[in-house]
Structure 1
Amino acid sequence: MGSSQSALNFGAGPAKLPSEVLYDVQQEFLSYKNTGMSLIEMSHRSKEYMEINDNAEKAVRELLKVPSNYKILFLQGGGCGTFAAIPLNLMNRTGSADYAVTGTWSAKAAKEAAKYGKYSQNLRDREVFPDESTWTLNPNASYLYYCDNETVDGVEFPKIPNSHDVPLVADMSSIRCYIWRCPKNIGPSGVVVVIVREDLLGNAMKVCPSVLDFTHVAKEKSIHNTPSTFSVYVMEKVLQWIKKNGGVAAMQTQIVPLTIGSEVGLIYHFVGGKNGNESLEAKFVEEAEKLKMYQLKGHRSVGGIRASLYNAITVSDVELLVKFMVEFQKQYGPKP
């Protein structure tokens, strides 16, 4: 099962980025725009970085058609930091919030919200998706929170839930969400994109740190303190790459389906089975890495195997993975 192809990255977290973008980053790394300095050495208030910051914001607004009455913020702290930022900024409106708890990530968000006010949650048994007709929503909630796609649990909302005039907060950070319905990762770790309606600003709790205060961050154009400049820089390049290649609509048409042919259907059934063999899974990862196929191990909380097919992944990449999986099943699977 030997192969000489370059590394294939099927990671679900930090994931594959377009080769064209990585090449540009490489070319500019030692001297950004012939300044003789790397971008990571420059002041975050330099004209060079300010231009990157402004262009990234403009690209998000253009690609997603963000209305003018919404602010686009670049925050630090990852998803977990944002779990806290949301109630700290929004729950103060009425002192309570609703959470649709449909899996691991929304459960973490709800647990964080419990530190700052009252909240109700609509639970599921993680086997059956919750029908909205069964939800009990608080009409006086500050917001309704949901996670569009629970990557750990394999649950994705089929449509945007009806919040009945209550502000809706959506975690769109995972695959097949938001602009991430194209490539999930639009840059390296270190930056979170928050889009918030202007009339929801100005209600942060007094205990809210200024670096997480949406109102303050908006006023400071996401440069209250030293931001993750390199992450924003790469993100801006990926956004421009998306624009160059036809925008969000074009990216959506290029998404690699999970059911290309009978072989993929067969293998995904094998990978997604609930009766996984841990030793066989370890062998699968080991053999895959010999072929330079990386990050196929499932999330640490559930184990198993997971292949994330983001837009930087090509059809030929998937075909190589499928070929390996079929061969692996023939060699290690049940014998007729």
Structure 2
Amino acid sequence: MNKRAYNFNAGPAALPLTVLERAQAEFVDFRESGMSIMEMSHRGAIYESVHNEAQERLLSLLGNPKGYKVLFVQGGASTQFAMIPMNLISEGQVGSYVMTGSWADKAFKEAKLVGGAHVAASSEDKKFVAIPELSSIKAADNAAYLHVTSNETIEGTQFAEFPDAGSIPLIADMSSDILCRPIDVNQFGMIYAGAQKNLGPSGVTVVIAKEELLAESPSNIPTIMRYSTHYKNNSLYNTPPSFSVYMVNEVLKWIEEQGGLAGIQSKNLEKAGLLYDHIDGSDGFYSGVAEKSSRSIMNVTFRMQSEELEKRFVKAAELEGFVGLKGHRSVGGLRASIYNAVPYESVKALSDFMNHFRQTQG
């Protein structure tokens, strides 16, 4: 291809071009096996080596925390919304949830169906344009865990720091910002993420958890929904999404080549800073949605002076090769998702386009 789209889709999202090219080169004949990795047995030595390598590489990027296990499961974060309370809430307990927006709300509602759910803090009074103050977050006395959504893609907010959950596990849905920056995994009992934003293509979900949370699950829930099933079978109880796991491993290699999480963070801050500086310096032509202290470096949400002007912006952008700038249908507005794989050049092109649009339409 002579030109790739400027891809700002919220998910599935951009993948690194070098990863796509490597996968293309190996697509038909993987490691001289005469087969694609999609065609071979998940019980075979070749696939298992990729599977195990991806688990090890992910933990390595996170600093090799002791006592943690990586699972590859299916069903996206939406299935985790149910699996977490099913596996971790015992009789007389609840899950405590920090309500930060649309995805936190989905997780909370699943917990209400399965066991019990408690609101530990909420920014609903601010229409979810800010992350609650950490000091306001209070888990229930009978909480089995404290759950946070580290980054809200729809509202464009992100935790800069995480609450101290004390003696109960802190669980984080990091579907939209995993590996965008260094974190201390030891703060968390569990981290989970659908792959299709920062880790690879859709189809696989990553769970990183303390082994004691995975080793024993209630026997009265379906076998496939038990963490212990996947833990004891190295995520090979049922056929895994083998190509997606392979792609995750390739994306992890690419992150290593970018300087690991510190290198990735530097690039992400540069990209986000470019867009936010342009929005803030536009004399009100563009306005950021999230409060500055809660702004996401993954999903830049902004508005213009009218919905009609926003529609013209999206149409003009599409003609120039920009994809995915329309805000989520539930809130409207505009959104640029600038995940790890979105190159600086694409963000610079968007900034230049925004400047040109303002000069011609302002």
TM-score, length of structure 1 as denominator length: 0.89
Confirm or deny: 8 A CA contact 1:143 1:167 kept in the other structure: yes
Q: Is the 8 A contact 1:139 1:166 kept in 2?
A: no
Alpha-carbon distance in 1 for matches of 2:278, 2:99? 34
Match of 1:260 in 2: 274
* 1:283–1:167 Cα change, 3 Å: same
Q: Secondary structure at the match of 1:296?
A: coil
User: Aligned to 1:119, which of 97, 117, 120?
Assistant: 117
Of 224, 227, 236, which aligns to 2:237? 224
Query: What letter matches 2:267 in structure 1?
Result: Q
Name the structure with the higher strand share.
2
Query: Which is further off, 90-99 or 163-172?
Result: 90-99
Q: Tell me what 1:214 maps to.
A: 227
Instruction: Tell me how far 1:329 sits from its aligned partner.
Output: 1.8
Query: 2:280–2:287: 8 Å Cα contact kept in structure 1?
Result: no
315-324 or 215-224: which moved more? 315-324
Distance across 2 between alignment mates of 1:285 and 1:207: 50
Q: How far, CA to CA, are the matches of 2:314 and 2:343 in structure 1?
A: 20
Would the aligned equivalents of 1:151 and 1:174 in 2 still touch at CA under 8 Å?
Answer: yes
What is residue 146 of structure 1 aligned with on the other side?
148
Deviations for 1:175-221, whole angstroms, at most 9, x for unmatched residues? 3xx41338952100111111111122345334433233111101111
C-alpha change, 1:289 and 1:274, in structure 2 (3 Å) is closer
SS in 2 for 1:312: coil
Q: What are the equivalent positions in structure 2 for 1:69-218 lying under 5 Å apart?
A: 69-92=67-90, 95-121=93-119, 122-124=121-123, 125=125, 126-175=128-177, 178-181=178-181, 184-218=197-231
1:16 to 14, 17, 29: 14
**1:143 counterpart SS class:** strand
Partner Cα separation in structure 2 for residue 306 and residue 207 of structure 1: 43
Q: How far apart in 1 are the matches of 2:89 and 2:138?
A: 18
* Structure 2 equivalent of residue 270 of structure 1: 286
Change in Cα spacing, 1:251 to 1:127, as seen in structure 2 (3 Å) is closer
Q: Unaligned 5+ residue runs, structure 2?
A: 183-195, 289-301
Distance 1:263 1:5 in 2: 25
Q: Deviations over 1:8-31 (max 9, x none)?
A: 111121111111110011111112
Aligned residues: 328
Partners of 1:99 and 1:146 within 8 A in 2: yes
Sequence identity (%): 40
Per-residue deviation at 1:63?
0.6
Give the partner amino acid of 1:55.
Answer: E
With structure 2 as the length reference, what TM-score do the two structures score? 0.83
- Whole-angstrom CA distance in 1 between matches of 2:278 and 2:162: 32
Shift of 1:41: 1.6
Note the C-alpha offset of 1:93: 7.0
Q: How far apart are 1:264 and its partner, in Å? A: 5.1
8 Å CA contact 1:93–1:203 kept in 2: the answer is no
Secondary structure of 1:259's counterpart equals: helix
For residues 29-83 of structure 1, the C-alpha deviation after alignment (integer angstroms, 9 at most, x for no partner) is 1121222222212222222211110110010111112323111101101111111
Q: Does 1:62 align with 2:60?
A: yes
> Paired residue for 1:30?
28
Counterpart residue number, 1:321: 350
| Alpha-carbon contact 1:271-1:304 (below 8 Å) kept | no
Q: Aligned partners of 1:134 and 1:239: how far apart in 2? A: 35
Alignment correspondent of 1:237: 250
Runs of 4+ in 1 over 6 A off after TM superposition: none
- Partner residue of 1:46? 44
Aligned to 1:283: 312
Deviation by residue 1:132-162 (Cα, 9 ceiling, x = unmatched): 4334422331101111111212222231102
Quote the Cα distance in structure 1 between the aligned partners of 2:136 and 2:260.
37
Change (3 A) 1:129 1:242: closer
